[in-house]
Amino acid sequence: MSALYRKYRPQGFDEVVGQEAVVRTLSNAIEHDQVRQAYLFAGPRGTGKTSMARILAKALNCAGTGGPTPSPDTTCHVCVAIANGTSLDVVEMDAASQRGIDDIREIRERVVLQPVEGRFKVYILDEAHQLTDAAWNALLKLIEEPPPHLLFVFCTTDLGKVIPTVRSRCQTFVFQRPRLAELVTLLRRVADGEGIQAQDSALSLIARSARGSFRDAVSTLDQLAAATNNSVDAQAVLQLVGAVDEESLLRLCDMVVDRDTAGALVFIEELAEQGQDLGRLVTDLLEHLRHLLLVQHMGHVPESLPVTEETKDALRQQANQLPEPTVLRLIDLLAVAVEDMRQGGDPRLPLELALVKVTRPHADLSRESLAHRVELLETRAHALGPHVPAAKPEPAGDGGATLVATAPAPESPAPDPPPPSSPLALEQVSEAWQRTIVEAVRDRSISVASLLTEAKPIGLSEDTLTVEFPPGNDFHRKQLDEPKNIGLLRDALYEVTGRKLSVVLEAGHAAERATDEEEDEPQSEEDWIESLKQTFDAKEVEPDE
């Protein structure tokens, strides 16, 4: 018994789904006797390239209608032989295994033979991009000037690997991924034909998991029918393919909107206990965020998105609730989980960290998080619009009233931003020290940043930060204590933490701040200048004036 995807392959142009442009062009070419000697079918796997090549061969050789005809009867002995792969006039080759020049020489020796039953001898080469350059070069002359009875159809999933000299000799058709509705229609036809009881929600999940492949969709339905005794529901689909239902994705993003960190972590725990593939959750969540971005920028849900009608309203509503900077920030954070998966790591921790950082941005002192928070503030300010001064009536000379806009008050320096609602901890400053704070100093002055190479924060009392230098680095401490240099450090701390902190510099583990008069075998100025030169050489930048 053959697999369902083979049983339900389209047998004629009228049964092809989702490739209307290709069908129309080939039908018109056959009807007006404009069939060319070579065609190149390119597109993702499972979109019907080989099936279209067989239909073209039937249309050219159909015995029942006396072909060529755009409407082969599909029942004559020639059409049946082509569908079964037993026709002597249609030769199918797998270029992945028959890719060498010797295989092409064998073709060249056989093409001189006339067709046995039809008018054309058709060669169909699957995965044509895997042919070697020598094999392609051996085919060039044959493709350009073939015998009148010969026709080539090259099928490939990677059009870019087909050499340009071959593409220029072929008519190229790019097959599109089918839309979700088209996949569901095909699955419903297969289910009804096989007597499979399948819910609409289950067929939608199967179609979404197939990612634009007819063959994958029908193969999944075939497997589910065997596993569930021809009774397919949504839960069975989720268990088999590991897909994440749309409701879970919407619920997770709603928690991001509500800044519900605990709820998001508990929900991830529930999904993991249910056996959900968290790697698939990451990829499906990324796809959902992409849909949100499209809706935010286009203003409506594109028809091309593989979502059900019920989901479109929820997607539109969520796109209005979730700020665009948050969507972009979460995509960036989930990219870390994707990279870990590529290296064989567990995506759970990066996924949970991404949710924590995006729901509690004030707890993350990285520069990316700070940029995200600034972008959120700018977005809110833009939504509120500019402040327009109110107009007040002024008495006019004739006793009437004239509206005169009051002049805006002179601009005053912007007030300092209020401190964060949560207290600043030494652990947060220590974690962000080298990674963020020192880098912020380096943006202002490379020489000052070099003074902080071995320094570290050791105490934070109210708004005073104590920074310790190891013994022997007293010269660095003194240099940093210069008003200009210490000011750069304070500015960097304010940029990262949002607080105006005083800084106390200590040498070693002394309890009191070292004074300018202390001399503890300091590093010589010459040694410090030499190390600074090495820093500049490593950074390949000019030293500060």
The structure tokens listed for 183 are 């996949």
Is 390 inside a domain boundary? no
Nearest 10 degrees: Cα torsion 140, 145, 149, 152 = 30
Give the CATH number for residue 283.
1.20.272.10
**Is residue 184 located within the same domain as residue 332?**
no
Give the model's pLDDT for residue 511: 41
Domain that holds residue 299: 246-363
**Is residue 187 located within the same domain as residue 169?**
no
Question: In which band, very low, low, confident or very high, does the pLDDT at 266 lie, cut at 50, 70 and 90?
Answer: very high
**Is residue 47 located within the same domain as residue 196?**
no
Give the model's pLDDT for residue 422: 54
**Is residue 48 located within the same domain as residue 117?**
yes
**Is residue 161 located within the same domain as residue 202?**
no
Q: Which residues touch 538 (CB under 8 Å, ≥6 apart)?
A: none
- The DSSP secondary-structure symbol of 459 reads E
**Is residue 275 located within the same domain as residue 220?**
no
Give the CATH number for residue 188.
1.10.8.60
CA-CA distance, 213 to 224, in Å (whole number)?
17
Is 403 inside a domain boundary? no
Question: In which band, very low, low, confident or very high, does the pLDDT at 532 lie, cut at 50, 70 and 90?
Answer: low
- The DSSP secondary-structure symbol of 66 reads T
At residue 194, does pLDDT exceed 80? yes
- pLDDT per position as a tens digit, 201-245: 888 888 888 878 888 889 989 988 888 888 888 878 877 777 777
Residues in the chain, total:
545
Window from 47-51, 206-210, 364-368, 423-427 with minimum mean pLDDT? 364-368
**Is residue 275 located within the same domain as residue 187?**
no
Is 376 inside a domain boundary? no
pTM of the model as a whole: 0.58
- pLDDT per position as a tens digit, 304-348: 676 767 778 888 888 888 888 888 888 888 888 888 888 877 888
How distant, in Å, are the alpha carbons of 42, 108, 158, 169 from that of 162?
A: 10, 20, 8, 12
**Is residue 144 located within the same domain as residue 232?**
no
Domain total for the chain?
Answer: 4
The structure tokens listed for 85 are 């792969």
Is 414 inside a domain boundary? no
- pLDDT per position as a tens digit, 486-531: 888 888 888 888 778 888 888 875 444 444 444 444 455 556 556 6
Is 413 inside a domain boundary? no
Give the CATH number for residue 534.
3.30.300.180
Helix (H) or strand (E) holding 474: helix 474-480
Question: In the listed set 121, 139, 174, which residue is the last one of a domain according to the structure?
Answer: 174
**Is residue 88 located within the same domain as residue 135?**
yes
> How large a percentage of the chain has pLDDT more than 70?
81
Give the CATH number for residue 99.
3.40.50.300
Is 64 inside a domain boundary? yes
**Is residue 37 located within the same domain as residue 148?**
yes
**Is residue 305 located within the same domain as residue 190?**
no
Number of neighbouring beta carbons within 10 Å of residue 318? 22
Number of neighbouring beta carbons within 10 Å of residue 181? 15
**Is residue 45 located within the same domain as residue 164?**
yes
Question: In the listed set 327, 347, 363, which residue is the last one of a domain according to the structure?
Answer: 363
| Contact between residue 58 and residue 78 where contact means Cβ atoms under 8 Å apart | yes
Is 137 inside a domain boundary? yes
Question: In the listed set 150, 174, 198, which residue is the last one of a domain according to the structure?
Answer: 174
Is 250 inside a domain boundary? yes
